[in-house]
């Protein structure tokens, strides 16, 4: 397994992102909404650097290919969310790939009328995006490779690795979102 981003580089980059976030919000209370499950390491390491008023919330988004839903349709569990109306919200996910997860999610959160809504991702995969979205905070740009570790899984394994590594291409990576 080839390490693409070391644990040290991730932690250094989180220091920088935390400075950017603190500068932007200037002590205003922030609600961080993490997208399960991939966000967990990123979220946990980032929020411990944010000495400002923070609320944490989680949302689950999964693509279903079952008989009932259309192929690739995104199902969002917003019942895990508190009322976001009037709050400053930062949506965090592990990786922006095609945008099919984050773009509809951003639309759903916007409908909840937050005071502001920003997006942060640990990774942005180059050359894969189908739906337009420019993250406000981005840890690293990576080439079009299937990566694991630091929250990212292959069949729900490897999420706990402290670094991001390249997994030799599985046969159908599109089924893993």
Options 43-51, 77-85, 96-104, 110-118: segment touching ligand 5GP (CB under 6 A): 96-104
Q: How far apart are CA 150 and CA 38, in angstroms?
A: 8
Q: How far apart are CA 148 and CA 163, in angstroms?
A: 8
* Residue 28 · residue 88 · CB < 8 Å: yes
* Residue 107 · residue 137 · CB < 8 Å: no
Nearer Cβ to ligand 5GP (31/101): 101
Which one among 50, 100, 138, 163 touches ligand 5GP, defined by CB under 6 A?
A: 100
Does 59 interact with ligand 5GP (rule: CB under 6 A)? Answer: no
Residue 56, classified by CB atoms within 10 Å of its CB into exposed (0-12), middle (13-18) or buried (19+), is middle
Q: Is 175 annotated in the active site?
A: no
Give min distance, CB of 79 to Mg ion, in A.
18
Q: How far apart are CA 151 and CA 161, in angstroms?
A: 8
CA distances to 87, 120, 127, 161 from 136, rounded to whole Å, are 17, 6, 18, 25
Identified catalytic residue from 93, 97, 136, 175: 97
Which one among 34, 38, 114, 149 touches Mg ion, defined by CB under 5 A?
A: 38
Nearer Cβ to ligand 5GP (18/147): 147
Residues that bind Mg ion (CB under 5 A): 38
Tell me which residues are annotated as active site. 97
Residues that bind ligand 5GP (CB under 6 A): 38, 93-102, 125, 146-148, 152-154, 176-177
């Amino acid at each position: 397994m080839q390490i693409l981003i070391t644990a040290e580089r991730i932690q250094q980059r989180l220091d920088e992102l935390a400075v950017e976030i603190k500068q932007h919000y200037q002590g205003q209370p922030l609600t961080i909404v993490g997208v399960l499950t991939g966000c967990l390491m990123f979220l946990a390491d980032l929020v411990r650097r944010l000495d400002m008023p923070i609320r944490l919330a989680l949302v689950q988004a999964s693509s279903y290919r079952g008989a009932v839903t259309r192929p690739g349709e995104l199902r969002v569990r917003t019942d895990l969310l508190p009322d976001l109306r009037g709050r400053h919200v930062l949506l965090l996910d592990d990786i922006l790939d095609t945008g099919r997860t984050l773009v509809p999610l951003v639309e759903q959160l916007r409908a909840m009328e937050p005071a502001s809504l920003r997006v942060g991702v640990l990774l942005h995969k180059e050359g894969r995006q189908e739906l337009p979205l420019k993250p406000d905070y981005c840890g690293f740009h990576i080439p079009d490779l299937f990566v694991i570790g630091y929250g990212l899984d292959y069949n729900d394994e490897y999420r706990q690795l402290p670094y991001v590594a390249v997994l030799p291409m599985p046969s159908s990576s599109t089924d893993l979102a």
